Amino acid sequence: MLNKMSLKTVLLSSVVALTAVSQAQAFEPARSADCIAPASPGGGWDFTCRSVGKVLVDQGYIKGNVQTVNMGGAGGGVAFAHTVSKRATDENLIVAASTATTTRLAQGQYPGMSTDQVRWVGTLGADYGVIAVGKDSKYTTLTQMMNALKEDPSAVKFAGGSASGGWDHLKVLMTAKEAHVKNLPKIRYLAFGGGSEALVQVVGGHVDAFTGDISEIRGFMQSGDVRVLAVLAEKRLPAPFDAIPTAMEQGISSVAPNWRGFYVPGKASEASYDWWVNTVDELYKTPEWKQVMTKNGLMPFHKSGEELTKFVNEQTLNIKLLSKDIGLMK
């Protein structure tokens, strides 16, 4: 009798397990998917959508294509609100996200929005911050620039692709704080629709300096139009970025990794969410994606599903506390 009951229990458990697996595998993505890049073409979010979309198609995860939809506004807030209110159940939508996303959520810049209104899929590397100037700038080192800010916090006008108070702005304030610059709110920052727009202003001589990420600046470095004063990383990045000094080398302990990843609508099915999480996990391991990372200066950084959700919530809290500490929030 005991053996029969044990066998029945085992069989029942197996059926339940197989049912769960079949349900998870039941989701079949449509031939095409949308990837919303919450900024103008050319910036970090745009890069994330286009590069990941290509690998998804090349590796056969999506049979048709992945359409990049540029949806700028409010430092990612327009795309976040659109996802929550208009496409909350869309199983074939992913949205590019980064530390810039958690920064705006932490500061309450997406009114009425919170981290739990979407589902966090996975990250595919980290993009380290840079501070750069035009090729003819009088500033040749980060230390020189920070010394100018010590004398006059408004001496340098910075341009970035995030909204005022966003991650690009925050990188400058963090760096200036570590360099012992006083009166941080007086540092001038101009927000543009994306990193490429900000870089055009710097290259054109209209703005003194650029604050953004290494992936955004690669083309301008190759053309010789900009000079990177520092990368905000613990150590120098691998080639072709190994000639760029870190802020830490210059006596300024500023480190600013910007993770690259995705969220999906909060009310999409569990099966579709699991498919996206598993797909990003697999994609991260492919040689093709490793090549994209190397080419664009992305450093290894991968979290997904529950682990990423926990990380996002913790990072949001930490940025909120930092923003209060440097006077961006009350």
Q: Which two tokens stand for residue 61?
A: 């995860």
* pLDDT value of residue 25: 53
Lowest mean pLDDT among 22-31, 34-43, 290-299: 22-31
Q: Are residues 133 and 49 in the same domain?
A: no
Q: Are residues 217 and 139 in the same domain?
A: yes
209 in a domain, yes or no?
yes
Nearest-10 Cα torsion for 317, 318, 324, 330: 0
Band of the pLDDT at 318, cuts 50, 70, 90?
A: confident
Domain end (from 231, 257, 283): 257
Domain end (from 203, 234, 257): 257
pLDDT in tens, 167-212: 999 999 999 999 999 999 999 999 998 899 999 999 999 999 999 9
DSSP state of 54: H
Mean pLDDT (whole number) for 136-165: 96
The total domain count for the chain is 2
27 in a domain, yes or no?
no
With the C-alpha atoms ordered 129, 41, 101, 272, is the resulting torsion angle positive or negative? negative
225 in a domain, yes or no?
yes
Which secondary-structure segment (H or E) carries 195? helix 195-203
Cβ-Cβ contacts under 8 Å for 30 (sequence gap 6 or more): 64, 91, 92
pLDDT in tens, 272-317: 999 999 999 999 999 999 999 988 889 999 999 999 999 999 999 9
With the C-alpha atoms ordered 237, 241, 247, 251, is the resulting torsion angle positive or negative? positive
8 in a domain, yes or no?
no
184 in a domain, yes or no?
yes
Q: Are residues 50 and 115 in the same domain?
A: yes
pLDDT at 214 over 80: yes
14 in a domain, yes or no?
no
The chain-wide mean pLDDT, for the chain, equals 91
Band of the pLDDT at 54, cuts 50, 70, 90?
A: very high
* pLDDT value of residue 240: 87
Measured between alpha carbons, how far is 248 from 129 in angstroms, rounded to an integer? 13
23 in a domain, yes or no?
no
21 in a domain, yes or no?
no
State the residue range of the domain holding 164: 128-257
Higher pLDDT, 20 or 130: 130
Q: Are residues 119 and 264 in the same domain?
A: yes
CATH number at residue 235: 3.40.190.10
Measured between alpha carbons, how far is 286 from 39 in angstroms, rounded to an integer? 27
Higher pLDDT, 144 or 7: 144
Q: Are residues 171 and 138 in the same domain?
A: yes
Tell me the DSSP string of 237-298. PPTTSTTSPBTGGGT-----EEEEEEEEETTS-HHHHHHHHHHHHHHHHSHHHHHHHHHHTP
Q: Are residues 193 and 293 in the same domain?
A: no
pLDDT in tens, 96-142: 999 999 999 999 989 999 999 999 999 999 999 999 999 999 999 99
Strands 226-232 and 118-134: antiparallel
Higher pLDDT, 4 or 294: 294
Q: At which residue do the structure tokens 């053996």 appear?
A: 3
Q: Residue 69 class from Cβ within 10 Å (0-12 exposed, 13-18 middle, 19+ buried)?
A: middle
Could you give the count of Cα atoms lying within 13 Å of 111 in the half-sphere of its Cβ?
1
Q: Are residues 121 and 132 in the same domain?
A: no
Q: Are residues 119 and 163 in the same domain?
A: no
* pLDDT value of residue 277: 98
Q: Are residues 273 and 163 in the same domain?
A: no
Query: Does a cis peptide bond (omega within 30 degrees of 0) precede residue 240?
Result: yes
* pLDDT value of residue 289: 97
Q: Are residues 236 and 311 in the same domain?
A: no
Band of the pLDDT at 6, cuts 50, 70, 90?
A: low
Band of the pLDDT at 16, cuts 50, 70, 90?
A: very low
* pLDDT value of residue 128: 93
pLDDT at 3 over 90: no
CATH number at residue 268: 3.40.190.150
Of 45, 197, 70, nearest to 124 by C-alpha is 45
Q: CB count, 10 Å around CB of 33?
A: 21
Q: Residue 38: what residue type? A: P
Measured between alpha carbons, how far is 268 from 252 in angstroms, rounded to an integer? 44
pLDDT at 323 over 80: yes
* pLDDT value of residue 297: 85
Mean pLDDT (whole number) for 65-74: 95
Q: Are residues 208 and 90 in the same domain?
A: no
Domain end (from 208, 230, 257): 257
pTM of whole model > 0.95?
no
Q: Are residues 280 and 194 in the same domain?
A: no
* pLDDT value of residue 266: 98
On whether the CB atoms of residues 237 and 297 are closer than 8 A, the answer is: yes
